[in-house]
Amino acid sequence: MKPVTLAEIAAALNAQLEGDGSIVIARAVHPSEAEGPDDLALAMEKGLGEALAACPARAAVLAEGAEVPANIAGWIVVKRPRYAMAGLLDIFEKPVHAEPGVHPQAFVAPDAVLGQGVSVGPFAYVGPKAVLGDGVIVMPQATVGAEAVIGKDSLIHPGARIGERVVMGERCIIHPNAAVGNDGFSFVTPEPGSVESAKTTGRVVGTNVLIRRVNSIGTVVLGDDVEVGANATIDRGTVTATRIGSGTKIDNLVQIGHNVQVGTNCMLCGHVGIAGSTIIGDRVVLAGKVGVADHVKIGNDAVVAANSGVGTDIPAKAVYMGYPAVPRERAFDQYKGLARLKRLFADVADLKNRVKALDGRANVSCGAPPESTDDRS
C-alpha cells in the first residue's frame, strides 16, 4: 500500500487525533516490532507502555486514558480497541495474490459465465453453467461445481470446494479446503432400526440389516458477507436448501448438517457441530466445540458456551452452558453442587459413624443382661 498520513488514518477510523497528524505512516506494527519513525505502533492493550516508550516509532494508536510517552509526536485515541483494530487492518490489508483473468492451466467450462475482473488460478476448476460475478477470485486448486452461482467480489481460497448448484451471495470468503455443498448424512433402514428404537424406548430392538442412502437433491444458499473457515463443511439439503444468513461467520472445522437454517450475523466457532434440520436464529453465538442435536431450535441472540451439548430448544437471548446445556444460572448451581460433593460425602460418612456409635450404646443399655459364668452349682 502507498504511505498514508496519521490524520488520514484517524479520519478513516472516525477517531480522535492528537499531536502531529502529518506524520507519514508506512505500516502498522506491534511496539516491540517497530523499526523506524514511519511505523505506526499499535499500543491499545494494557501493559504496552514500556514497549511503546522504547520503540523508534513517532506515531501510535492508544486506548482512551492511556499515557503518552515523550517519543510519540502524534497519536490516535480509540474508544473500543478491538473494533478499531478491524478498521486499521482494513487500511493496511495485504490482499491475496491473484492474477487477472483465467490462468492457462485452469479449466473453465465453455458455457460458464464470468463477470468483469474475475481471476481463476492455476489448476482451478469452474464447471458447466457456473456463474462467477464481477471481481470473484478462484484461487489455485479450488473447485466451483456445475451451475453454482458465486456473488461478486467473493474469494475462494486454494483447495476449497463449492458443490454443484450452490448459491453464494456477494463478498463471501471460503477458506482453504472448506467444502460447501456436500451430500447430507442421510440414511434409512427398511424397518425401524437400532437408532429409532433407542430414541423411542431407550433400548435397541431393531437391527440395521440394510442401510440405504438418501440422496441430497437440495443445495446450499449463502447470504452476503458469509465467511466459511478452513476445513469447515456445509451439507446440502435433502430436498430444499441448507441456508446460511448474511453476515454469518463460520470458523475452521465446523460441521453444518443437511437442511439446517442459520440466521444472519451468527458466529459459529471452531469444532461446532450442528445436526440436520436444526433452526438457528439471528445473531446466535455458538462457542467452540458446541454440539447441537437434530431438529433443535435456537432463538435469536442466544449464546451457548464452549463444550456444551444442546439437545433441547433454547429461547431467544438465553445464555446456556453445560452438557447437556441448561441455563447459565442452573449450570453454575450444578457445578457448585459437584464441588461440594467431597465435603458432603465426608459429612455423611461422619454421620453414619455417629449413628453406628449411638446404636451400639443403645444395644448395650437396653439389651438382656449377659449370661452368668458362675458354675458353683
Active site residue: 103, 157, 175, 258, which one? Answer: 258
Nine-digit cell string for 312: 433441547
Give Cβ neighbours of residue 217 (< 8 Å, ≥ 6 apart). Answer: 238, 239
**DSSP E strands, 64-209:** 74-78, 101-102, 107-108, 113-114, 119-120, 125-126, 131-132, 137-138, 143-144, 149-150, 155-156, 161-162, 167-168, 173-174, 179-182, 187-188
SS3 343: helix
Query: In the block, which residue shows the cell 475462494?
Result: 156
**pLDDT at residue 373 in the model:** 53
Please indicate whether the domains covering 4-91 and 101-327 agree at the CATH topology level: no
Strand pairing of 249-250 and 227-228? parallel
Question: Hey, what CATH topology would domain 101-327 get?
Answer: UDP N-Acetylglucosamine Acyltransferase; domain 1 (2.160.10)
Indicate yes or no: pTM above 0.75.
yes
**pLDDT at residue 335 in the model:** 86
**pLDDT at residue 327 in the model:** 94
Q: Is 258 in the active site?
A: yes
Using an 8 Å Cβ cutoff, are 124 and 106 in contact? Answer: yes
pLDDT block averages, 10 residues each, the chain of length 377:
88 94 94 94 91 94 92 94 92 90 97 98 98 98 98 98 98 98 90 82 83 92 98 96 98 98 98 97 98 97 97 97 94 88 88 85 62 52
Break the chain into its structural domains and give their ranges: 4-91, 101-327, 332-363
Q: Which CATH superfamily is domain 4-91 in?
A: MurE/MurF, N-terminal domain (3.40.1390.10)
